């Protein structure tokens, strides 16, 4: 194999696939990247056996071939080279990298020893959507997910396809986020709905690597393929049933209030300086009061409070929240105002845009000791 490639193209390609490598004493080749020529393109692939990423990059192919070499070594060299043009040549399972004033010889392994990148068998049915739209919807829910060995089914993002809409849902049992994409925003050939759980790491890689343009999803019973321009991400799905979360979504509220979002963000940041070990702060609304009190106390530091003007209807309340979870939810919105629906100090509080929007965030109160 003989190639001439621009430094930027090689760097971008290696950066796109590097997170799918893995440290594995039984399979050290999982630290490698597979470099091969494919359809007049240079193909870079990596896998950790759960997730595989393939990136096509442009370059001049003088001679076809393939090799697999340690990705970290090749990326480190590429990052520190000053020349824009890089020559790659493979002979006897070694990769020689040359520029005008630099040369490196990297020991590699043949393609035959690299794990086979899985393929999706069902390529007839697909869902096509704008990449930026999908990433925005995913970004608004992903921070509610959490890795869990005890409950692997919540260690990812639920894709609930209902033919006329696509819901993205994430929860860690203490909070939950749901975002809905309506059918006028995607194209699909799936004849019926389905529910699948995408691992958290895969979701993070989609946000990191997918660029502009159309994104196409192909699904098999146990895996999913995200295809976008020159990039492919194929991942195993999480086995199991997602929690029946819809039963915890409040249908009405004892108290509803509209607050300026940035005002509440600043209040939470400021008051959290006095929060305790469980990151607790209190929201208080007294009878007949037109201000929400954000309050925290620490027996070693002291206490502080912040008053925010609000529009409210309903009953007085005092509820404790994890301020980090509360702030995560607030940051998921771009609206000027936020609506909070509160139901006592033991039931979920809902956060949403006062306008009719397809996104909401639920947070559970911290029980009083």
For residue 131, the 8-state DSSP code is H
Place of tokens 């890795």: 147
62, part of any domain: yes
Residues contacting 111, CB < 8 A, separation 6+: 34, 36, 66, 67, 68
Which residue, of 245, 261, 281, is where some domain finishes?
245
Which domain CATH number covers 267? Answer: 3.10.150.10
Read off the pLDDT of each residue in 111-121 and give the average, rounded to a whole number. Answer: 94
Res 24: pLDDT: 87
**Which residue range(s) make up the domain with 64?**
2-113
Same domain, 70 and 157: no
Looking from the CA of 154 toward its CB, the CA atoms found within 13 Å total: 19
Gap between the Cα atoms of 119 and 52, Å rounded: 10
Gap between the Cα atoms of 293 and 276, Å rounded: 18
Closest Cα to residue 273, out of 301, 310, 236, 243? Answer: 301
Average pLDDT, the chain: 94
Gap between the Cα atoms of 73 and 205, Å rounded: 21
Which residue, of 205, 228, 245, is where some domain finishes?
245
- CA 326 vs CA 27, 32, 362: distances in Å: 42, 41, 9
119, part of any domain: no
Which residue, of 245, 262, 291, is where some domain finishes?
245
Res 368: pLDDT: 63
Gap between the Cα atoms of 5 and 60, Å rounded: 6
Indicate the pLDDT class of residue 109, thresholds 50, 70 and 90: very high
User: What is the number of domains present in the chain?
Assistant: 3
Res 84: pLDDT: 95
C-alpha 128, offset from chain centre: 18
Same domain, 290 and 191: no
270 neighbors 304 (Cβ within 8 angstroms): yes
Read off the pLDDT of each residue in 340-348 and give the average, rounded to a whole number. Answer: 91
């Amino acid at each position: 194999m003989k190639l001439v490639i621009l430094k930027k193209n090689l760097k971008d390609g290696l950066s796109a696939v590097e997170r799918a490598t893995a440290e594995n004493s039984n399979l050290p080749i999982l630290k490698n990247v597979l470099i091969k020529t494919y359809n007049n393109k240079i193909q870079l692939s990596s896998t950790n056996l759960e997730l595989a990423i393939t990136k096509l990059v442009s370059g001049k192919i003088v001679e076809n071939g393939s090799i697999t070499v340690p990705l970290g070594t090749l990326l480190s060299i590429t990052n520190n080279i000053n020349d824009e043009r890089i020559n790659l040549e493979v002979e006897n399972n070694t990769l020689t990298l040359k520029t005008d004033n630099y040369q490196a010889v990297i020991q590699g392994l043949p393609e035959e020893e690299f794990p086979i990148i899985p393929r999706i068998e069902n390529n007839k049915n697909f869902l096509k959507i704008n990449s930026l739209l999908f990433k925005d919807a995913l970004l608004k829910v992903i921070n509610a997910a959490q890795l869990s060995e005890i409950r692997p089914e919540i260690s990812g993002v639920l894709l609930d396809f209902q033919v006329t809409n696509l819901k993205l849902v994430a929860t860690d049992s203490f909070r939950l986020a749901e975002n809905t994409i309506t059918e006028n925003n995607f194209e699909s050939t799936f004849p019926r709905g389905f529910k699948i759980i995408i691992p958290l790491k895969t979701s993070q890689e989609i946000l990191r690597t997918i660029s502009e343009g159309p994104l196409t999803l192909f699904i098999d019973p146990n895996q999913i393929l995200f295809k976008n321009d020159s990039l492919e991400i194929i991942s195993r799905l999480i086995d199991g049933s997602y929690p029946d979360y819809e039963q915890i979504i409040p249908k009405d509220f004892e108290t509803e209030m509209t607050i300026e979002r940035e005002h509440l963000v600043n209040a939470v940041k400021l008051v959290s300086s006095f929060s305790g070990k469980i990151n607790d702060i209190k929201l208080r609304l007294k009878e007949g009061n037109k201000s929400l009190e954000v309050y925290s106390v620490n027996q070693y530091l002291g206490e502080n409070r912040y008053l925010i003007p609000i529009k409210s209807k309903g009953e007085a309340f005092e509820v404790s929240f994890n301020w980090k979870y509360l702030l995560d939810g607030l940051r998921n919105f771009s609206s000027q105002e936020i609506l909070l629906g509160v139901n006592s100090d033991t039931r979920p509080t809902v956060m949403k845009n006062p306008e009719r929007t397809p996104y909401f965030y639920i947070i559970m109160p911290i029980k009083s000791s």
